[in-house]
Amino acid sequence: MLAALGRVVVAWMLLLPLVAQAAAQWSTADVPGAQPALIQVQAGEAEALVRAAQTQALGWSHVNWRDAALDRVGLERLLARSERVDRSQLVLMGGGTRASALLALSAQLLRLPNPPARLRGLVLQVEATGAWPSLPKSNDWPALLLSYRRDDAQARRAAFALARNARAAGAAVWLQPREAAASAADADLLPGWLATLGIARVRRFEDALVRSYPAASKRSIETALLALAQQLHDAAGAGKSLQVHVSDRQGGAFELLVDADARLLRRDGRGVVAEFDAQQALRSVYGDLLASPRIDLAAAQPLLHPETGSTLLAIPVRLELAGGSIGVLLLRHADGSYGMIDLGDGGALEALLPSPEAADRGHAWWGLRAQADADGHRLTRIELQPVLPRRGLWWDPSHAGSALDLQPVPGGYSAVFATYDEAGASRWYLATGRIEGQRFVSAAGGLQLMRRDPAMAPPHPDRALGGRIDIDFSVAAEHPACKRRSAGAAQLALLSVQLPGRTESWCIEPVGLLAGVPEHDVNGVWYGGSGDSGWGLSVVSAGDEGRGLVSAMLYFHDREGWPRWAMGAGALGVDGATLTMHGYSQRCRDCRNPETTAQALGELRLRVGGWCGEPELRARLELGDGDPGLRFQRPEMPLQRISESRCD
């Protein structure tokens, strides 16, 4: 009996290492490259399986961390078990007493000069009051999602106290009550919140226009490319290291390298991470390759993305297929994700340069192919194409003081034309429609001026003052209306407006914004809900954490029921902004140089929250200072979004 018991004990002892290893086994998504990761702490098996499935669907890795000690050494040991995890993109998740330990671990990592990992988020289930660790002030705090049981008053007080401390330390914090029993709705919250962290690794094919040119038509460009190709050839012959220095979105810098397996590696103070497995990704598209892809980092060039305005890196690649060699451009985006452009037959590019032409607005390259194409041309032009018109405010710099607000709404787009009447008072007109073949086609009502009588009846179109609107997004910088435009516009469009006694044709472009999107993405048009309709607030926010800006345009009616607009802008803090709203008038609207005057009307206080798929916006309006006819007031209230979210 004792011998049998001894054999059982020995068997369990032999199994213990295997059980421990299985408990901390990483599950990875079936996508190429390094992956962001969700690290759950001591979760139940059923919950861990749900979270693993959710995160893998997002292209993330997942692990259930079962160590008793949640410290830096244990985290390093855990990360060493997977080569697929990107140590700069981690989210930790735990509850109860483990929440305090994860906060302490986060604080410890923030104090290190070269931490082994960068945390992007903490998902903490606050279950009771307790002592929280001291939180150092830092701009690098991960975002916090704090959940608590709705029926537990102690947990609610603890969550709110922690939120105050974390915000004071510099963290962005979301609070989320949950039901006493786990529900499908609770489980679905996590993917939406993870999406707002802006972590991605996989993109689609990029939309680009690729055309070959005879060298004689662009002789100076061909000469510059030939000289660059020779420099690159000489550098390769001298055995110089093939690596490039890249700036990240947080203002830091790192090196990008290629290893023998055609993986793109990122090297920074935390070490080396395999960021993207180019060979695996390209094989999934083209099938078997005759040789490892030749990735030419030395020829890489930066360029601006036409939709986001952020800098991306174009990396030429040569592929050897059964039918011959082809060229590909890998595009590394600022968030570390990759796209690609198929350059077709003719081999890879030997050299690549941003286009020097102002008309290209920083969004096109010229490349020199290793081999001529079927027409005998080596010179190739590559231009990134925006997929959709940029949402938000557009303007013509030569007609300052007016704007077009373009927003995606269910079923199509809305376009608000903010301008002035013949007396110089601000006016706005509304049109709805669809984008068809790079053109905005308005609905049957056309461009409508919405009147409201003093009795506060719902607004109605004044058909005698309405008109027509057309927006053509296919125009190029060579269009006569756009010839005087300076380089740098992300997109161009031709705006044509016909109103009683007035016809306009302007070359418009999106209002320039900072690169990046704030964590609280409240961009779009909002209103007070079905019980308070007839007015709207268009919000545009941009910029990464710590340097965000926000502007707001209010569409309302004056005392006599005429549609008016006011605008304000300022810095966007962690939880919102307070803006001074200005009304505008224009003297001699139809003169060559009309004079626009701004008048402070009052204050708009914005409070933001939620995440990308479920943004929250509250507003308090106190307008009317100095002009009772423009009085518009609302107490602090939650607003409802009219336009579609970026995450919809």
At 160-199, the pLDDT tens digits run 888 888 888 888 888 887 776 554 445 667 777 776 676 6
Does the residue 648 lie in any domain? no
């979301």: which residue's tokens?
Answer: 174
For residue range 500-513, list pLDDT tens digits in order: 999 999 999 888 76
Whether residues 443 and 469 fall in one domain: yes
Stronger pLDDT, 36 or 210, i.e. the higher one: 36
| Per-residue confidence band for 265, with pLDDT thresholds at 50, 70 and 90 | confident
In eight-state DSSP terms, residue 101 is H
Q: Is residue 427 part of a domain?
A: yes
295 has a pLDDT exceeding 70? yes
Instruction: Specify if 8 maps to a domain.
Output: no
154 and 90 together in one domain: yes
User: For residue 455, what pLDDT is reported?
Assistant: 56
Q: Which helix (H) or strand (E) holds 617?
A: strand 614-623
CATH of the domain at 193: 3.40.50.1820
Residue 540 is encoded by which pair of tokens?
């545009």
Residues 482 and 521 in one domain: yes
Q: Which of 43, 390, 407 is nearest to 190 (CA)?
A: 43
Pick the more confident residue, 136 or 610: 136
Report d(CA 343, CA 337) in Å as an integer.
20
* pLDDT for the residue 557: 92
114 or 528, greater pLDDT: 528
d(CA 406, CA 538): 10
* Helix (H) or strand (E) run with residue 49 in it: helix 45-57
Q: Which two tokens stand for residue 77?
A: 């040991």
The burial of 103, by beta-carbon neighbours within 10 Å (0-12 exposed, 13-18 middle, 19 or more buried), is given as buried
Q: Tell me if 14 is assigned to some domain.
A: no
618 neighbors 638 (Cβ within 8 angstroms): yes
- List the single range of 20-24, 102-106, 479-483 with lowest mean pLDDT: 20-24
Name which of 52-66, 69-83, 228-242, 586-600 the model is least confident about: 228-242
Are 416 and 365 members of one domain?
no
Calpha distance 363→248 (Å, rounded): 20
Q: How many CA atoms lie within 13 A of 109 on its CB side?
A: 27
- In this structure, the answer to whether residues 469 and 548 fall within a common structural domain is yes
Answer yes or no: is 9 within a domain.
Answer: no
Identify whether residues 427 and 358 lie together within a single domain.
no
Q: What is the DSSP string of 480-544?
A: GGGTTPPTT-S--EEEEEEETTEEEEEEEEEPP--SS--SS---EEEE--TTS-S-EEEEEEE-S
Separation between Cα atoms, residue 563 and residue 426, nearest integer Å: 8
The pLDDT of residue 630 is above 80:
yes
Which residue among 346, 367, 384 closes a domain?
A: 384
Is 48 found in the same domain as 193?
Answer: yes
Please name which of 148, 330, 299 lies closest in space to residue 225, comparing C-alpha atoms. 299
Q: Which of the residue ranges 49-58, 204-213, 223-232 would you say has the lowest mean pLDDT?
A: 204-213
Domain assignment of residue 1, yes or no = no
The terminus-to-terminus CA distance of the chain in angstroms comes to 65
Does residue 598 fall inside a structural domain? Answer: yes
What does the pLDDT read at residue 518? 65
Give me the pLDDT at residue 245, please: 65
Q: What local confidence, expressed as pLDDT, does residue 236 receive?
A: 65
Looking at 384, 416, 436, the residue that finishes a domain is 384
pLDDT of 403 above 50:
yes
Are 505 and 608 in a shared domain?
yes
Cβ–Cβ contacts within 10 Å for residue 647, how many?
A: 13
Domain span at residue 411? 392-641
Lowest mean pLDDT among 390-394, 440-444, 453-457, 460-464: 453-457
User: Under a CB-based contact definition with an 8 Å cutoff, are residues 328 and 319 in contact?
Assistant: yes
Cα four-point dihedral sign 634, 635, 636, 642? negative
In a domain, 222, yes or no: yes
For residue 412, is pLDDT > 50? yes
The pair of three-digit structure tokens given for residue 308, joined into one six-digit string = 């986001």
Helix, strand, coil distribution of the chain in percent, nearest 5: 20, 40, 35
pLDDT at site 187? 60
pLDDT at 215: 66
Residue with tokens 């009771």: 128
Q: Say if residue 459 is in the same domain as residue 576.
A: yes
Q: Give the DSSP letter of residue 447.
A: B
| Residues 520 and 631 sit within 8 Å (Cβ to Cβ) | no
When pLDDT is cut at 50, 70 and 90, the band that residue 213 belongs to is confident
Tell me the CA distances in angstroms from 612 to 92, 192, 518, 523, 646, one per residue in order: 19, 7, 10, 10, 7
**In 10 A of CB 598, how many CB atoms?**
13
Residue 433 and residue 457 in one domain: yes
Rounded Cα gap, residues 372 and 346, in angstroms: 6
Confirm if 87 and 273 have CB atoms less than 8 A apart.
yes
The 8-class DSSP code of residue 27 comes to B
Half-sphere exposure at residue 120, Cβ-oriented, CA atoms within 13 angstroms? 21
Q: Say whether both 59 and 100 belong to one domain.
A: yes
**Above 50 in pLDDT, residue 19?**
no
| Whether the Cβ atoms of residue 464 and residue 449 lie closer than 8 Å to each other | no
> pLDDT averaged over the chain?
80
Domain identity same for 284 and 420? no
CB distance 270 to 204 below 8 Å: no
Residue 375's CB is within 10 A of a number of other CB atoms, namely 9
The total number of structural domains in the chain stands at: 3
CB 592: neighbour CB atoms within 10 A? 6
- Single out the residue in 366, 384, 402 at which a domain terminates: 384
